[in-house]
């Protein structure tokens, strides 16, 4: 047994403990031989921006045998050399673990699918030492979403690659479950391979890559999600250490992607259900033009709008919001909207009666839920609207000569009082003016206090360019782009956004 001084052991044992604590016993077993140097001892290039993975000489490494004057008593020069070699290897392992930690932390901070796919492709390229790559997301169950993204490849380059027969590409063999596609596929020198597809040879020469390395994206629970392939400009392949690190990273990345894919499917399903519960098209009546915009939150919400033709060439306009989010809120929104349509057909000329009936229905059938709503009985020929609101934000009328909020009577939301009733108001629009009905999500999504959110909405309506004012859809789009700092289509917002625009001629 080596007689190693306590000064040396103090620095070796914590490194071994750190390796065990960080769950890399498999890495230690792989590089366990002490007497035979391997690639881990040599300095290696940086894997990602800001991470210097070069193994520097350890500050605690014992001096080599040549400096025998500094060797502690009782320790032979040969033993000291072995300890120094072990410390260098441990330093290399710690450097690789630090790299993996940085990359996985960076991936964990991604929540959108496109962002996560790009991060996986970039990190994998850094680990295997490639400059370009391609990732194809194609879940085996066929439920989607299907995506193809490239790193260092333009859209035209991806188009060229897609012209190659799928079975001759490494990622195609993985996705289609062909022989050899169950694990990594390394092609260190494409042009020296016998039987290389002529089209593949032509595309590789055109795009300037000579080798590739592919890994499957698969989990035990979700099955195969896709495949990633990285391209080398010259004949090359990753060394064993790079393959090991890339495999560890892809294993974690696939689990992260599986969670995001499941969330994307839920969002798409909820958005589809919500869209089916809203009007398939807006009515067309002389004297008025309509446009509607809706952006759903990540879990689906209960914000809605409606526009329906009524007797005597009248028009019913409504917006509302049900508390909560998810499937229950979407279902409640559908029930509330259907009920309001029925009440509007029967007594639409009296908006107060419509909302009173709606409040009674909500209180009797869903006593634990509240909602806000605004209903307008519109007579396009007279440019006249009769409005009633229940806890809802006031409409905004904008035109060439004025932009102002229409103050409705102050009222509690539906379902909060034993009996709801509030007076209605009348509004007469001027030719060329547009009335904007919206839900509170438009104000909340700004992140500002309510007074500043109202001011931002007012300023957005004032700033609509004159050529756009003839189109209510253009007015709605301009307002959304101006009011929302990250755009209306951003899915990270927790609030639904609904905007209904009616322009009078």
Task: Give the span between the Cα atoms of 305 and 113, in whole angstroms.
Answer: 29
Tens digits of per-residue pLDDT, 350-377? 999 999 999 888 888 888 888 999 999 9
212: cis peptide before it, omega within 30°?
A: no
Which tokens is 409 given?
């009577």
Structural domains present in the chain: 6-107 (no CATH), 110-270 (3.30.450.40), 278-504 (3.60.40.10)
Tens digits of per-residue pLDDT, 402-453? 999 998 766 788 888 766 677 889 999 999 999 999 999 899 888 899 999 9
Residue 379 main-chain phi, psi, to 5 deg: -115, 95
Instruction: Confirm if 209 and 132 have CB atoms less than 8 A apart.
Output: yes
pTM value? 0.64
Residue 309 main-chain phi, psi, to 5 deg: -75, 140
- Give the model's pLDDT for residue 26: 44
Partners of residue 151 on adjacent β-strands? 133
Residue 467 to residues 293, 335, 404, 505: CA-CA distances in angstroms? 20, 39, 20, 15
Which tokens is 402 given?
């004025």
Residue 3 has pLDDT above 50, yes or no: no
Dihedral (CA of 66, 71, 76, 82) sign = negative
Tens digits of per-residue pLDDT, 262-299? 988 888 887 788 788 888 889 999 999 999 998 877 66
Task: Give the span between the Cα atoms of 66 and 125, in whole angstroms.
Answer: 41
Interval 231-245 mean pLDDT: 94
Tens digits of per-residue pLDDT, 56-106? 333 333 334 444 445 455 556 567 778 788 888 888 788 888 999 999 999
Task: Give the span between the Cα atoms of 163 and 361, in whole angstroms.
Answer: 59
- Give the model's pLDDT for residue 157: 95
- Give the model's pLDDT for residue 494: 64
Instruction: Confirm if 60 and 87 have CB atoms less than 8 A apart.
Output: yes
Range with the poorest average pLDDT among 77-86, 102-111, 171-180: 77-86
């Amino acid at each position: 047994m080596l007689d190693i001084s306590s000064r040396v052991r103090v620095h070796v044992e914590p490194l071994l403990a750190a390796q065990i604590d960080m769950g890399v016993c498999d890495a230690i077993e792989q590089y366990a031989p002490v007497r035979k140097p391997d690639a881990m001892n040599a300095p290696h290039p940086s894997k990602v921006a800001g991470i210097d993975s070069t193994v520097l000489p350890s500050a605690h490494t014992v001096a080599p045998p040549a400096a025998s004057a500094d060797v502690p008593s009782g320790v032979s020069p040969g033993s000291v050399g072995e300890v120094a070699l072990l410390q260098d290897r441990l330093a290399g392992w710690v450097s690789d673990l630090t790299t993996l930690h940085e990359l996985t932390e960076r991936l964990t901070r991604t929540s959108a699918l496109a962002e996560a796919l790009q991060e996986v492709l970039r990190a994998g390229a850094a680990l295997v030492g490639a400059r370009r790559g391609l990732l194809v997301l194609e879940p085996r169950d066929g439920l989607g979403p299907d995506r193809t993204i490239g790193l260092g490849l333009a859209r035209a380059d991806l188009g060229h690659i897609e012209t190659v027969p799928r079975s001759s590409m490494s990622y195609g063999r993985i996705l289609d479950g062909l022989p050899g596609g169950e694990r990594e596929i390394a092609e260190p020198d494409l042009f020296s391979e016998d039987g290389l597809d002529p089209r593949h040879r032509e595309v590789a020469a055109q795009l300037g890559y000579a080798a590739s390395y592919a890994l499957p994206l698969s989990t035990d629970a979700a099955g195969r999600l896709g495949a990633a392939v990285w391209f080398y400009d010259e004949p090359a392949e990753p060394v064993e250490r790079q393959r090991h690190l890339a495999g560890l990273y892809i294993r974690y990345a696939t689990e992260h992607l599986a969670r995001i894919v499941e969330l994307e499917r839920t969002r798409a399903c909820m958005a589809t259900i919500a869209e089916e519960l809203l009007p398939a098209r807006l009515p067309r009546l002389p004297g008025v033009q309509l446009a509607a915009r809706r952006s759903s939150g990540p879990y689906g919400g209960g914000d809605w709008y409606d526009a329906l033709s009524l007797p005597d060439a009248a028009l019913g306009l409504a917006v509302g919001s049900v508390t909560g989010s998810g499937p229950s809120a979407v279902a409640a929104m559908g029930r509330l909207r259907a009920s309001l349509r029925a009440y509007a057909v029967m007594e639409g000329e009296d908006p107060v009666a419509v909302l009173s009936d709606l409040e009674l229905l909500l209180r009797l059938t869903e006593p634990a839920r509240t909602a806000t709503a605004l209903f307008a009985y519109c007579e396009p020929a007279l440019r006249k609207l009769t409005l009633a609101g229940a806890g809802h934000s006031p409409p905004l009328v904008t035109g060439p000569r004025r932009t102002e909020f229409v103050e409705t009577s102050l009222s509690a939301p539906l379902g909060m009082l034993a009996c709801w009733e509030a007076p209605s108001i009348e509004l007469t629009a001027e030719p060329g003016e547009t009335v904007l009905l919206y839900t509170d999500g438009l104000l909340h999504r700004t992140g500002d206090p309510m007074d500043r959110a109202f001011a931002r909405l007012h300023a957005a309506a004032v700033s609509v360019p004159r050529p756009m004012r003839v189109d209510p859809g253009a007015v709605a789009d301009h307002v959304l782009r101006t009011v929302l700092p990250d755009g209306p289509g951003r899915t990270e917002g927790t609030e639904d956004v609904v905007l209904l625009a009616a322009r009078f001629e």
